[in-house]
Structure 1
Amino acid sequence: MKKILFLAMVALMVAVLAACGSDTEETEEGTAGAEQQTITFGVTPWTSTVPPTKIAGLILQDMGYEVVETNADAGSVYTGLSRGDLDVFMDAWVPMHQNYLDKYEGDIESTSVSYPEAETGWTVPTYMEDINSLEDLEGREGEFDNEFYGIEAGAGATIESDEIIEAYGFDMTQVSSSEGGMLAQAQKLMAQEEPVIFYGWRPHTMFNKFDLKVLTNEEGFFETSSVEVITNTELKDNAPEAYEFLSNWSISLDDVEEMIVKIEEGGEPEEVAQEWIDNNQDKVDEMTGE
């Protein structure tokens, strides 16, 4: 009888251990196959970055992901993407940002195009009727107090603007600032109809609020940009559903500009983004594959 009880106890222990082993294997397999649940966006201090980021974030939340935003300048965003600290950047300007794509090749990739043919470059008010190209500035730098107003240091536009100054031999200094600081200075001078030259781009409300023109040039600077979504190369495997959605992403320049205006007029960014989603559900379904 004792022998039978002993054998029964041994059998029970073996069964328990086997069950524990099975649970461990299932847990390990489940962990190995788990999908990344948090998507981190890099957000530059540009008004054009906000609407696409908010829309994509809300859609990903509806898909079951947690969304985190990290504010940084462009250079830091690309560095974060390359290290895997960030997953997505919704506002890459190509070819302006091509240097970053080349630098971090293999760690980041262009996943989709938000909208093509975004205009960008050195900009003046239209009341400067005889300044229509960069070539028209030669010898007239003093009219602008020898200053060109740009955005933050490290941005692709800032780097290219320095290249323009060097290529043309302009007697000018680039004054780097935030987007808001640059526009405040430009607006102050435009209010007096004084000469001013600064960095402009669409989509942006500056073209809605002021009569502006982007200067042409014969050297190929500031080509028309394609605005693209950049992801780190691990996202495709770590969060395939999120990656698939982002690979189908697109939005019109006019829609982005309209949302920027609403936000600048006091609209909450999330509410403006949700309004776009509600009004474009067919497009959202197409991007999410539903």
Structure 2
Amino acid sequence: MMKKYLLLLLLPLFILASSCERRTKQDVLILYPNWADGISFTYLAKVMLEDKGYTVRLKRLEPGPIFASLSRGDADIYMCAWLPYTHKNYWDRYEKKLDVLGTIFNDGITGLVVPTYVDINSIEELNENKDKFGEKIYGIASGAGIYKNTEIAIEEYRLDFKQMASSETSMITALKKAVNHSEWIVITGWKPHFIWSDFDLKPLADPKGVYPTDRIETISRKGFAEDKPELASFFSKFSLDEKLVNELMNDVAIDRDPEVGAKKFYDKHKSELNFFD
């Protein structure tokens, strides 16, 4: 009788513990940056995972704090690590406490970009036309790898330019204004990005090789794959070709709520996105 009483007493605790274990197993915290590819990949993953019953939390940070948070185990996933070059400083510092789960996109390029009507083709031609550009390079936040590489480019090419750090949105607004008036402008640009379909642009040649070609990787805190193998398998398979990436980013950019755009894309391509198999 006593054993039966104890069993009835402990049963709710067993149920509670089991419930907590299931909730913890299904919970994932994804960190993401405030730029188009990171936002698009992250929200598509959120939509897909929640469709399968997972609990997904998102937090937006600059790249430096993202790498630091993952290395401490304070978060699970980052889907926009540009490796091995653009985010090299962060990776060199934290790599022993991080894991690469998979490659989302293979041909990530960065560099200086101008509208096609601008009559130069190389970074080496910027100085002789500096007045037309107002001696400004429109960039993004100073914590971004492309910002740091642009500072290196300014030194390597001895450019009489100042990089204007701002948000990605502000940079694109400046680009749109310049294009509408056929004015000369140079920005920091990268692929994949929706600006390539929205504007007629060209990358400037980089003879000194300051701007590399990267892979866009999904990285995790150390031990994530052991803790949550089903989720790790999903992220390891999460990969898109350039056509799908461009369409995804366009869909996300159109809507003010990125989750709405990501869901629209997912509903169109659900049969192609076999990341759970």
Residue in 2 aligned with 1:116?
A: 106
Shift of 1:31: 9.3
TM-score after normalising by structure 1? 0.83
**Residue of 33, 41, 48 corresponding to 2:30:** 41
Shift of 1:160: 0.6
**Residue of 142, 152, 163 corresponding to 1:163:** 152
Q: Tell whether the 8 Å contact from 2:255 to 2:261 is kept in structure 1 after alignment.
A: no
Residue in 1 aligned with 2:275?
A: 287
Shift of 1:24: 11
Q: 1:203 to 1:52 in 2, by over 3 A?
A: same
Q: Distance in 2 between matches of 1:165 and 1:102?
A: 24
Q: Tell whether the 8 Å contact from 1:81 to 1:88 is kept in structure 2 after alignment.
A: yes
Residue in 2 aligned with 1:50?
A: 39
2:205 equivalent to 1:221:
no
Q: 1:29 to 1:122 in 2, by over 3 A?
A: same
Shift of 1:18: 7.6
Partner of 1:180: helix, strand, or coil? Answer: helix
2:188 equivalent to 1:199:
yes
Mapping of residues 28-177 of structure 1, within 5 Å: 36-94=25-83, 95-129=85-119, 131-177=120-166
Q: What are the superposed Cα offsets for residues 93-149 of structure 1, whole Å, 9 maximum, x if unpaired?
A: 2221122122111222221111111332100111112x1111222444343222111
Q: What are the superposed Cα offsets for residues 29-69 of structure 1, whole Å, 9 maximum, x if unpaired?
A: 96997653321111211122222212211222233321111
- Of the structure 1 ranges 259-268 and 225-234, higher mean CA displacement relative to structure 2 is found in 259-268
Unmatched segments (≥5 aa) in structure 2: none
- Of the structure 1 ranges 269-278 and 235-244, higher mean CA displacement relative to structure 2 is found in 269-278
Q: Distance in 2 between matches of 1:128 and 1:193?
A: 9
Q: Distance in 1 between matches of 2:80 and 2:256?
A: 21
Partner of 1:226: helix, strand, or coil? Answer: strand
Q: What are the superposed Cα offsets for residues 203-253 of structure 1, whole Å, 9 maximum, x if unpaired?
A: 222222221101111111222222121211221122111011111111122
Partner of 1:49: helix, strand, or coil? Answer: helix
Matched residue type, 2:275:
M
Q: Tell whether the 8 Å contact from 1:107 to 1:233 is kept in structure 2 after alignment.
A: yes
Larger Rg, first or second structure (1 or 2): 1
Matched residue type, 1:116:
N
- Of the structure 1 ranges 260-269 and 85-94, higher mean CA displacement relative to structure 2 is found in 260-269
**Residue of 224, 230, 237 corresponding to 1:248:** 237
**Residue of 188, 197, 206 corresponding to 1:208:** 197
Matched residue type, 1:193:
S
Residue in 1 aligned with 2:223?
A: 234
Q: Tell whether the 8 Å contact from 2:194 to 2:246 is kept in structure 1 after alignment.
A: yes
- Number of residue pairs matched? 275
Q: Tell whether the 8 Å contact from 1:48 to 1:257 is kept in structure 2 after alignment.
A: no
Matched residue type, 1:274:
K
Q: Tell whether the 8 Å contact from 1:148 to 1:175 is kept in structure 2 after alignment.
A: yes
Unmatched segments (≥5 aa) in structure 1: 1-11
Q: Percent identity?
A: 29
Q: Distance in 2 between matches of 1:107 and 1:89?
A: 13
Q: 1:83 to 1:183 in 2, by over 3 A?
A: same
- Of the structure 1 ranges 16-25 and 251-260, higher mean CA displacement relative to structure 2 is found in 16-25
Q: Distance in 1 between matches of 2:20 and 2:171?
A: 49
Q: Tell whether the 8 Å contact from 1:151 to 1:199 is kept in structure 2 after alignment.
A: yes
Q: Tell whether the 8 Å contact from 1:262 to 1:272 is kept in structure 2 after alignment.
A: yes
